[in-house]
Amino acid sequence: MSGTRTKASTTVPPAVAATTTATPSQFAQLDQQVHATLARLSSSLSIASGLLAGSDWAMHLAVSPGKQLELLQLAWMQAAQLTQYGMASASAGGSIGADATRLTAAAPIVDRRFSAPEWQQWPFNLLHQSFLQTEQWWAAATQDIWGVEKHHEQEVAFAARQLLDMCSPGNQLLSNPEVLRQTIAEHGQNLVRGAQQALQDIQQQLSQAPRSDPEGFAVGRELAITPGQVVLKNQLMELLQYAPASTAAKVYPEPVLIVPAWIMKYYILDLSATDSLINYLVQQGHTVFCISWKNPGPAERDLGMDDYLQSGFHAALDAVSAMVPKRRVHGVGYCLGGTLLAIAAAAMARDGDHRLATLTMLAAQTDFNEPGEIGLFIDESQVSLLEAQMAEAGVLKAEQMAGAFQMLRSYDLLWSQLVKKYLQGETGSMNNLMAWNADATRMPARMHSQYLRRLFLNDDLSEGRYPVNGKPVALSDIVLPTFMVGTLTDHVAPWRSVYKLHYLSPAEITFVLTSGGHNAGIVSPPGKPHRQYQLMQRKAGAVYMPSEQWQAKAPQHDGSWWPAWQAWLAAHSGAKVKPPSLGNHAYPPLAPAPGSYIMEK
């Protein structure tokens, strides 16, 4: 045996060597692939986020005996109410005849989903009342629990509502008296038609073929028909200039530039001739320009917020300024387009660019601290999951965004539609707004990630951290006269969130709160019934008024808010002049409106 000591072997097994030589980016890529797979399996919903919310709620409820006793008491009271209502129903013989009104009035809970007379007949009256009491109990069980994080509380409450909506007696054949009555009357033909429609939908889903325009609602023929020309086209957008009204010998000198959101196609603002905000402005004597965003595919995956600002808004503003020289421009932004407009206006104020005359913000947020129920889908876990999936696809698919909005209003947008289509066999009465809503768009991966993180997660814009050209912008620099519209039942941009610009900017702000939701509240032409709005102006630099006080104080008006806005635009415009030509030598007309980007599926 030799006395010489041997050096320990430094040979690394091949499998270990392969692992230790991997780069950090390869590890990250592995995580991205795993998360993308999870996203596909979970319909892009974060399981981790749901588990965290559920465990937070369950653990805090478990150590809240007072809340448990409160829920026990509520259950006891509900049982007594249901028993009392059942006895009243039994004494009436369970009929829906003369006692229907009395039974409806005696019902512990009244809900529009179960307002049909058939729901007042035994046993369906007890069935729907039991369901509504269950909803009421879970609403109480998922709120006001000591120690539960607010976002987690909202997630649990939302999940409970979704599960209960799924189990609603109105969604089942044997527990829906309206469907049963129709089935008997039609000898089951409604179910045959529903099955045929279900088969067609399944075939379309499996083929992944793009949906065609519904009959009678073709873009360029029945929708988006205001005459005009495409005067600019780049990789991101087409700029449309609309022809002056045939009756307009003169127009207001300041043109109007509309910046729509890119999560929807612009023609929400140019539906049929009677429902077109763009056509209304043209008829009132305004020169109107509108951006039509490209429906992006994987090739546009790297387009970001800066591209939408530079190649979108600023490219359009440069073109408008060239075609209508020496005139300031009325900037109009809808939804996310309004947020982009606010970013641009703040940057222009910072840099001494005075080409804007006014701002109009339609259902557009600038403070995202309270974004409403859409915020349920936006936390670090959820955003990371979406980013992993978008890294593979290059875009957020249209059906993913549509699915999120359907969940926010699951009864109106999902379950009631499924019942009508598959159980009642209705083909559905389409209208222009429904046709537009079905024409969804995609979003580039980079842009979608940036706006989720910068605006929703970090709230950079309202906090003065949002960068433009390497320097942050401040909404407090915006001093242009501003017209804002919030919609009373908006589930995308809650009106109190929209209202927050009042304490972020010292500008003169005219605020309108109109009836309706995010879309129907904006598409509100004169002559439509059951429309109301409140309007009040805050002078520049005036003391801040909270939204609740504003709502209590602002005068109420019947009808559409469009004429009030047009009067405001006219008051901030000069004397009328001869209409400008469509395009010029630098921006010649390229094609008739609505252009080609709007046609992309």
d(CA 110, CA 83): 16
Q: Which amino acid is at 449?
A: S
Q: Examine the pLDDT at 301 and tell me if it is beyond 60.
A: yes
2: Cβ–Cβ under 8 A, 6 or more apart, which residues?
A: none
Catalytic residue among 45, 335, 385, 388: 335
Q: How confident is the model at residue 437, as a pLDDT?
A: 84
* Of 102-111, 187-196, 306-315, 473-482, minimum mean pLDDT range: 102-111
Collect all residues with Cβ–Cβ distance below 8 Å to 577 and sequence separation of at least 6.
Answer: 250, 251, 252, 253
Nearest-5° Cα angle at 405, 208 to 443: 60
Read off the tokens for 358.
Answer: 């006014």
Instruction: Report which of residues 421 and 72 the model is more confident about.
Output: 72
**Which residues is 532 bridged to in the sheet?**
558
Mean pLDDT of 234-254: 92
Instruction: Give yes or no for residue 101 having a pLDDT over 70.
Output: no
Domain at 228-369+459-574+588-599: CATH architecture: 3-Layer(aba) Sandwich (3.40)
- Side-chain-side CA neighbours of 50 within 13 Å: the count stands at 10
Residue 444 clears pLDDT 90, i.e. is over it: yes
Q: Is there a catalytic annotation at residue 290?
A: no
Predicted confidence at residue 193, as pLDDT, reads: 92
Assign 295 to helix, strand or coil.
Answer: coil
Q: Give all strands (DSSP E) within 319-355, no chain letters.
A: 329-334
Tell me how far CA of residue 213 lies from CA of 208, 274, 277, 278, 440, in angstroms.
Answer: 15, 20, 22, 21, 12
What pLDDT sits at residue 15?
A: 45
Closest CA to 257 of 162, 305, 323: 323
CA distance 442 to 402: 10
The β-bridge relationship of strands 482-487 and 509-514 is parallel
Token pair for 462: 């309202």
Task: Check: CB of residue 261 under 8 Å from CB of residue 335.
Answer: yes
Instruction: Tell me the C-alpha to C-alpha distance, in Å, between residue 310 and each of 234, 307, 341, 461.
Output: 11, 5, 11, 17
| Domain boundaries along the sequence of the chain | 47-161, 168-209+398-441, 228-369+459-574+588-599
Grade residue 18 by pLDDT with cuts at 50, 70 and 90: very low
Task: Give the C-alpha distances (Å, rounded to integers) separating 506 from 204, 337, 346, 481.
Answer: 52, 21, 12, 10
Q: Which residues are bridge partners to 395 per DSSP?
A: 444
What's the length of the chain? Answer: 601
Q: What is the pLDDT of residue 403?
A: 67
Cα gap 593→226, rounded to integer Å: 8
pLDDT at 145 over 70: yes
Question: Which has more pLDDT, 267 or 416?
Answer: 267
User: Which pLDDT value is given to residue 593?
Assistant: 96
**pLDDT, tens digit, 9 for 90 and up, residues 116-132:** 999 988 889 999 999 99
Cα–Cα distance for residue pair 522/489, rounded to 1 Å: 12
**Measured CA distances, 343 to 15, 84, 470, 598 (Å):** 52, 58, 13, 25
Is-above-0.85 flag for pTM? Answer: yes
Q: Which two tokens stand for residue 93?
A: 């013989």
The first and second tokens of residue 207, run together, are 């083929």
3-state secondary structure 80-106: HHHHHHHHHHHHCCCCCCCCHHHHHHH
DSSP element (H, E) containing 486: strand 482-487
Condensed to tens digits (0 to 9), the pLDDT of residues 30-65 reads 888 888 888 788 777 888 989 999 999 999 999 999
User: Which has the closest alpha carbon to 593: 228, 126, 78, 73?
Assistant: 228
Print burial letters for 538-554: b (CB count within 10 Å at least 16), e (below 16): beeeeeebebeebbeeb
Query: What pLDDT, on a 0 to 100 scale, did the predictor assign at position 212?
Result: 64
What pLDDT shows up at residue 38?
83
